[in-house]
Structure 1
């Protein structure tokens, strides 16, 4: 392993120097006085193309005074948090003191033996520990990584001194979820880390899972398997970590910025998470001496800290911080308003504070270090275990297949490549479907080639082939999908980091999908479309953009779709959806969605737009009579109440038909109703009344409203 770990001799020298510097204690660093800002943001979304809502954001500001052989005095100067999907100010305010009291949430920028790479804990461990993330600078890391020197830059300091920086590219030998891939930059002379950008080499299966121990019974292991299957895909991704250090007094490299981004996908939900730290230093080795810190961890001391606010504007808590056992004195204002409206906070908590957390510098660092070429080694030997996905997310019910389910098998191959095989069987139509894909990803962008035979939904809105839509089809006969079959090959490209953009180039045979299922608990299926049979070669693209975090502020969601194809017929189509919402006086809010689309050429019916149903004109049913090669649609809503449970009045209007008659469309489809939304629209219940063409009443329960 040592013989193959270093691809050049300079990499060996730089690695050796950096490994020593990582665990060495800078004896001349005696003290500092720093301002610390921290922000944690958690979002939530349903499905791939739905808007992501801010679910939680917490911010903390503090003054940290550290002195060698004494510890740290932490003065909490600000704390605020919001839970927008709940929208209950009392809950948010009640949590302020609990957040401020948790000294683990306030990072200490530096202490002797601190982990410079911000990986695997706060304390630098000299030896590799492969039960967690394997630190690429720990002793023994050569068995897991290869190293190569890259670019070099020179920094000229104000005193004329030049600091030479050198890049060390780190690549895992195998594509595993506990190995890092990226670039580390070091001061060539001292071996001190100056900046770093890395991610995990692969997604981590079962990010939230039931894990039976080795002695578990067969029944316990089966129960764990069923629980894990229920929440499949249940995958965690750490897509980027960025760290930057600043040089102080021409001698000390201290952390300036830290950022980590990732996500968890479980069942139908996606939860992106971002963790950011910012450090500024008022002085280094110039602070007055700190008094001795005596830590009292007794229950009496804990009780005393809760009663101090009766006689003092602040309370003091002494604790040991983290696994480093750093003595700390935590001083916290008793007045919640002092914390929430701290002068250290500028603007609203919903603002992204790009200046404080230097988003531009972070994105440049990540973009340069974590491109598609930054990958684990490609190897067909010593591969990780394949990921098997089954469960509710793979099941569906519709009028073509009846009940169907599928099995997904994914194998990481290294080099960012993964092979995926999918097998699906419908019990009513008796037709097996399958796909085989080879894709390459860096967890921000993915390029893949796919061979397939599958059932497609012609719908531009909603997800008729999802588990949630299947329940509506089974229970009420409301199968809102218009289906056709396709078999062919496609090249896909998508990006999710800086914007959500999808491209798809395909050549395929399309054909009609016959109705084979009739059973529903209540109601009856409408007929499916008679899809045009033909061969098509085309290109599609979709661009999604969300903006705005505050449920009471302006939030927008834009969805642009373009497609063109040639073959047995030639056509091009384009559509745009724009949704916006904003608060009104008296705890009201208004939402408006505007959509339009048109086409040129001879477009087959399976590429028409279909209106009617939950995702378009509520109160009307989705059926084969309301379709065309052009459309327009408006959805408006007036809501009242907090985000946790909001009632609303809504009205939907729209038209679809031949593009030549759009100016004389006649009376549009229409419906009105009363809606109830929970958790900022993630869960929705509607009672709608159709006005034209059908006068009927519908009751619907579904996930992820458009606003």
Structure 2
């Protein structure tokens, strides 16, 4: 087999398209143009679109029936800085018998699902396991080829302004919403000399909108059939802004306004959809694989979703082939035994018996045990109008064999034969990244303040209560302008940040200028809601702060992706800030209590760069996981008003490993070990010290118990998970100071027990320090622990 790709800019492509008459092309008088005059950026694009448009509704209509093995795998995660925690995953294997104008038959070959409280969800319902299978009906040849797996036809994707479905790029009127351009031509030469060609058609939305897609369609120029489709929705859906009913009925209500800002806005993004087709016996294109990537978010709570479906076609019967056979669908000279069934249930029982003989597993029809279906208006929808399953189901007598079935695909985080590989997924993203950013016809403005925004209400010992506001303007294409600020009622100083951001599918680049309050660790979250509640309620402010004013340039992953790397260059002035408040709610009547002093930072001018890498390997919670975080900083600085310059270099590394001990699913025991260390070379300002103490580094001790230009720390933890919740026992140890003065006798250590929610996404710890004057009993509530 030989594969070749050529550029589409030349006349060869036009000739290739022109040489193949489009199927069912409609002859239109020259004076009546079929499409908008500005819809096509080149002649080849017009030819290719016309061919695909004319044949779209008829492709696959010649398929009368088919049988296919269909594998599906799904994963839903909960995103945090440390890692993505898989909270749901399922694997399904079925065999589908599809025949036109009849209800499809689905034989369940394997099914496995893992999510918290599954036993409770299934309860005593003997058929609940069937309801949880994320499969409803097989693909319908002749229906839409791009939105595979949906229950809608082509016309359903041309909604009104009040609807938020996607506008189909090949449906009637698509030329008024999109522009089209031809891309590369790919040819495949088979061993027998036959060639297959596919020509790319770029779909470019006329404006950035959650109703429109942006992508590339590879079209077979001989038939107009889809060979491959890769696309994304051109703009993230903001429910409160983009759905009129929600905006008018919910977003304006008092209940919605009372939702804290860290849980808003409610958004959804379809980051990538890839559809691959294969040519069955050189006669008809049928689906091979589908992959969906997206996420939903409630403010800071992000939930990535991945879905993959694989079709392996086993047999296909075409209309013209059946017409050439005998009157009963059998070749002439052969006889067919007729069996009459009084009811559908009898027929399904007979089919189940035949399948049992083939697979040596006893099957039964369960269609009659489900809620009775009501025939839909078309055979294209997997559900009826009341939401009930439309397919007829055949399952093993013993559902327990399904979880151990050899037919089950591997989980979605593992490469498996027939599914898109990591290299293919990367190629999909590169294809989308090469498309031009859709234009923004009107500036999109998002404004929030105080309770209604994320981290716009905060409390710390420097500012006291601080109220903030944030505004973001989406400008041209992928550019966005942002402005944010806080005002502290204790220090009476405004803090402001302005930035310009360019974001693509692969990276985010941000140029900013600022005058703000800074924590010594940018990733600590000490200026977020968690530490603010701790400081306001209990008087425990874990941060060390200093003032900064300057500019920076940062390169990070896109906001929708896990933040696994960050590269930042900066030039800024730094100065000390003082503790300006002494109020905490539960300390209000303690006259002798006050916040601990803030760090006495050096007043310096500094320029440098920072790099942070945090890869994580392993997503299966029943197997070992491993993560590394590497941080480095290099800078030159001088004290304010002085000419003498100093420079320093810093590096740190954190290694984390999680090992399963026993159990499975969401009832399991695991052990975790984390070791970290860092060192500074040269003379650094005091605010660039390493700080040890508090829940993130050394439990059982106050924040910043130890500090210095070097540090070492470690923690070991055992956890037993019971569905959503888990209990743990742990021990921490840590040291910080000058490397030349290290003494193992100076290491502090503590022990404790904790309650974990959703695999460490939220932690409640009770800890006790065991050494040193600052040891004590502490209660901590925080996010993103190992287990």
The TM-score with structure 2 as length reference comes to: 0.80
CA distance in 2, matches of 1:527, 1:498: 35
CA displacement 1:286-318 (0-9 Å, x = unmatched): 898999999999xxx9xxx9xxxxx97542357
Q: 1:668, CA displacement in angstroms? A: 0.6
Counterpart in the other structure of 1:681: 760
1:339-358 aligned within 5 A:
339-345=402-408, 349=411, 352-358=414-420
Q: 1:353, CA displacement in angstroms? A: 4.2
Counterpart in the other structure of 2:302: 270
The reply on whether 1:615 has 2:696 as its aligned counterpart is: yes
CA displacement 1:120-159 (0-9 Å, x = unmatched): 7542227722521122222222222221111111122454
Q: 1:392, CA displacement in angstroms? A: 5.3
Counterpart in the other structure of 2:670: 589
8 A Cα contact 1:120 1:133, kept in partner: no
Q: 1:684, CA displacement in angstroms? A: 1.4
Q: 1:445, CA displacement in angstroms? A: 1.8
The reply on whether 1:14 has 2:65 as its aligned counterpart is: no
Counterpart in the other structure of 2:655: 578
CA displacement 1:474-530 (0-9 Å, x = unmatched): 111111101112122111111265982211111111111222221112354211111
The reply on whether 1:647 has 2:727 as its aligned counterpart is: yes
Out of 250, 257, 272, the position equivalent to 2:282 is 250
The reply on whether 1:502 has 2:566 as its aligned counterpart is: yes
Counterpart in the other structure of 1:308: none
CA displacement 1:82-102 (0-9 Å, x = unmatched): 01xx37656579799435347
CA distance in 2, matches of 1:126, 1:698: 58
Counterpart in the other structure of 2:529: 467
The reply on whether 1:362 has 2:362 as its aligned counterpart is: no
Counterpart in the other structure of 2:233: 200
Counterpart in the other structure of 1:172: 205
1:208-357 aligned within 5 A:
221-227=253-259, 229=261, 231-285=263-317, 313-317=364-368, 319=373, 324-325=380-381, 328-345=391-408, 349=411, 352-357=414-419
Counterpart in the other structure of 2:113: 81
Q: 1:647, CA displacement in angstroms? A: 1.9
- Across the aligned residues of Structure 1 and Structure 2, the Cα RMSD in angstroms comes to 3.3
1:594-605 aligned within 5 A:
594-605=675-686
1:416-435 aligned within 5 A:
416-435=478-497
8 A Cα contact 2:79 2:562, kept in partner: no
2:210 is paired with a residue whose SS is coil
CA distance in 1, matches of 2:379, 2:101: 16
1:185 is paired with a residue whose SS is strand
CA distance in 1, matches of 2:222, 2:603: 69
CA displacement 1:553-591 (0-9 Å, x = unmatched): 212222111111123231111111111122225854211
CA distance in 2, matches of 1:485, 1:313: 71
What are structure 1's unaligned runs of at least 5 residues?
Answer: 306-310
Q: 1:660, CA displacement in angstroms? A: 2.7
CA distance in 2, matches of 1:258, 1:560: 36
8 A Cα contact 1:179 1:200, kept in partner: yes
CA distance in 2, matches of 1:705, 1:215: 39
1:529-544 aligned within 5 A:
529-544=599-614
CA distance in 2, matches of 1:550, 1:8: 48
CA displacement 1:220-249 (0-9 Å, x = unmatched): 644444448562243322211111111111
CA distance in 2, matches of 1:40, 1:94: 25
The reply on whether 1:3 has 2:42 as its aligned counterpart is: no
The TM-score with structure 1 as length reference comes to: 0.89
8 A Cα contact 1:96 1:336, kept in partner: no
Counterpart in the other structure of 2:385: none
1:660 is paired with a residue whose SS is helix
Q: 1:72, CA displacement in angstroms? A: 1.8
What are structure 2's unaligned runs of at least 5 residues?
Answer: 1-34, 323-328, 331-337, 353-361, 383-389, 588-593, 639-645
Higher Cα radius of gyration: 2
8 A Cα contact 2:731 2:749, kept in partner: yes
Counterpart in the other structure of 2:782: 702
CA displacement 1:338-392 (0-9 Å, x = unmatched): 2211221256x58624334222353143133122x4243345x434454646335
CA distance in 2, matches of 1:41, 1:225: 32
Tell which deviates more after alignment, 358-367 or 282-291. Answer: 282-291
CA distance in 2, matches of 1:650, 1:262: 36
Are the structure 2 counterparts of residues 94 and 422 from structure 1 closer, same or farther at C-alpha, using a change threshold of 3 Å? farther
The count of aligned residue pairs is 686
Are the structure 2 counterparts of residues 252 and 334 from structure 1 closer, same or farther at C-alpha, using a change threshold of 3 Å? same
CA distance in 2, matches of 1:294, 1:115: 37
Tell which deviates more after alignment, 611-620 or 183-192. Answer: 183-192
8 A Cα contact 1:179 1:201, kept in partner: yes
CA distance in 1, matches of 2:57, 2:474: 34
CA distance in 1, matches of 2:65, 2:379: 21
Counterpart in the other structure of 1:512: 576
Are the structure 2 counterparts of residues 101 and 491 from structure 1 closer, same or farther at C-alpha, using a change threshold of 3 Å? same
Q: 1:207, CA displacement in angstroms? A: 7.5
Tell which deviates more after alignment, 433-442 or 103-112. Answer: 103-112
